[in-house]
Amino acid sequence: MAGAQPQLDVAIIGGGVVGLIMAMGLMKRGIRVVIYEQSREFREIGAGIAFTANAIKCMSLLDPAIVAAVDAVATPNGEDADKPNDYVRFHDGYRWDPADAADTEDKLLGLLHTGYKGFQGCHRAHLLDELVKSIPPSAVAFCKRFVGHTDPGPGEKLVLQFADGTTAQADAVIGCDGIKSKVRQVLLGADSPASYPHFSHKVAYRALVPMAAAEAALGTFKARNQHMHTGPGAHLLHFPVAGGTLLNVVAFVADAEPWPLTDAHAQRNMTADATRGDLEAVFAGWCPTVRHVVALLPDMLSKWALFDTHDHPAPTYVCQRVCVAGDAAHASSPHHGGGAGIGVEDALALCTLLEMATGAAAAASQADMTALVERAFAVYDVVRRPRSQWLVASSREVCDIYEWSYPPTMADWDKCMAEITARSHRLWYFDIDGMLAELRAGFDGEASPNPSPTLVQIQVQPLVQIQVQP
Ligand SMILES: Cc1cc2nc3c(=O)[nH]c(=O)nc-3n(C[C@H](O)[C@H](O)[C@H](O)COP(=O)(O)OP(=O)(O)OC[C@H]3O[C@@H](n4cnc5c(N)ncnc54)[C@H](O)[C@@H]3O)c2cc1C
């Protein structure tokens, strides 16, 4: 095709929060995108989600419309929206003296500063509705469950296969298909334990409570400010969402039992029915405030098994022109509240690299485009994997800190707060410019000014296995 300008067609598998943000960032750079989503429509399960300041900065670099979408639905922390509180309050939810009539308030253990508007809660469905406004219908195909692909070779488009028997073509595939990612299975092989998430032995109970009821039971200050109530074997977090009309409540509980799955590979049954009574039993004897929060919850609840990729981390996020991002690459337990945010960082990395690839391709052929995409994805893997795998590990450990069982800190809350602060700030005060410099240097084949320890040599991974299960 002499003289034709090489084009890049990117397929994003999965239209969750990371897939949508990835698509917006690519389209902003003039790259053609189609999101293939298995559901009939975009939908978010769950209640609240909060983004850290570094995630918001990445969003602004991807596409300011993403920040506008968050701003449209984010709820400031505190009683006065114009003067939001920029901290998470950690309380002792467990130790109190029932014999002391004055001892009704759980004690403050420390404040974790998040930066200005650092960790504002969003109602998940509302956020998705805002993001979707920026996605043109031509960039989405619903009811398309990815099952595998074939690679005809350099210069030829990858052929994607879907469960309904249809196919589609693309030059590059980004798997944003979440914790049960099929793309990860294709990259790593069906027999690899790293292809599947594993139970972290924690469960979460999530609910939204009307703010009026929460304020009546807890008082305005407690209800409108983000609180983390800690204790042995469990912890309870709440923060306002939906413009302050709802309180998002999540109770995390340790669970030593294995989580039964009907089919380990399909990873079904990650939720189970539960009742408020189950939680009342867990938190019996805890401080009155914690029990008041539990009393606000509906009679029937869902118990979510928290799976992650900690026990079997992916050895690579990339194979040739296929990669994974967000939970598909590094699903973590949610205890840093950073899984989606670090997926946003992935999106900035991939959008930056694919923009460089298309720029370099302007002076090249369509066959060269294959090599440029492979190089971009290889750099992405080297730069992004250490940080995102750190999040997976630290999320497990920080949960143990909240639950007084991390050996170096146990119930010593001076040490706990120092450890929580150091870990949270490592996540939040990320050197985004440094990452971008490292990506650009890696793509250009130069030595990075601050190379990550793993940025030694960039190699394109061979394809482990191509799976097609119509
Ligand atoms: C209790 C809890 C609280 C959390 N709180 C926070 C928080 O405050 N802040 C934060 O940053 N993170 C938080 N997280 C983590 C965050 O929810 C996830 O990291 C994030 O939702 C992952 O987004 P994703 O787009 O990668 O995956 P998902 O949101 O899971 O989206 C995957 C999409 O892919 C689709 N899909 C799957 N398979 C296929 C296929 N084969 N073909 C086509 N489509 C497919 C799915 O239908 C879905 O739409 C929390 C998690 C939990 C459990």
How does the average pLDDT of the chain come out, rounded? Answer: 89
Whether the CB-CB separation of 187 and 316 falls below 8 Å is answered with yes
User: How many residues are recorded in the chain?
Assistant: 470
Atom of ligand 1 nearest to the CA of 342: 11
pLDDT at 4: 62
Residue 101 has pLDDT above 50, yes or no: yes
Tell the residue nearest (CA) to atom 50 of ligand 1. 334
Q: How far is the CA of 260 from the centre of ligand 1 (A)?
A: 21
Q: How far is the CA of 446 from the centre of ligand 1 (A)?
A: 35
Which residue ranges make up each domain of the chain?
9-76+121-197+312-402+418-444, 87-119+199-308
Positions marked active-site: 206
Which of the pair, 103 or 181, is modelled with greater confidence? Answer: 181
Residue list, ligand 1 pocket, CB within 6 Å: 13-19, 36-39, 49-51, 144-146, 176-179, 182, 204, 206, 250, 326-328, 334, 337-341, 343
> Class of the 9-76+121-197+312-402+418-444 domain?
alpha beta
What is the tens place of the pLDDT at every residue in 435-467?
999 999 999 986 544 444 333 333 444 433 333
pLDDT at 96: 92
The candidate with the shortest Cα–Cα distance to 386, out of 329, 327, 333, is 329
The candidate with the shortest Cα–Cα distance to 336, out of 395, 277, 388, is 395
Distance CA 299, CA 226 (A): 24
Tell the residue nearest (CA) to atom 37 of ligand 1. 177
Contacts for 206 with CB less than 8 Å, ≥ 6 apart: 46, 47, 248, 249, 250, 301, 302, 304
What is the tens place of the pLDDT at every residue in 220-245?
999 999 999 999 999 999 998 888 89
> Which of 18, 34, 317, 428 best tests ligand 1's pocket when mutated (most atoms within 8 Å of CB)?
18
> Class of the 87-119+199-308 domain?
alpha beta
Distance CA 401, CA 406 (A): 5
pLDDT confidence tier of residue 87, bands split at 50, 70 and 90: confident
Whether the CB-CB separation of 292 and 229 falls below 8 Å is answered with no
For the ranges 5-9, 46-50, 167-171, the one whose mean pLDDT is highest: 167-171
Residue 3 has pLDDT above 60, yes or no: no
> Which of 58, 177, 332 best tests ligand 1's pocket when mutated (most atoms within 8 Å of CB)?
177
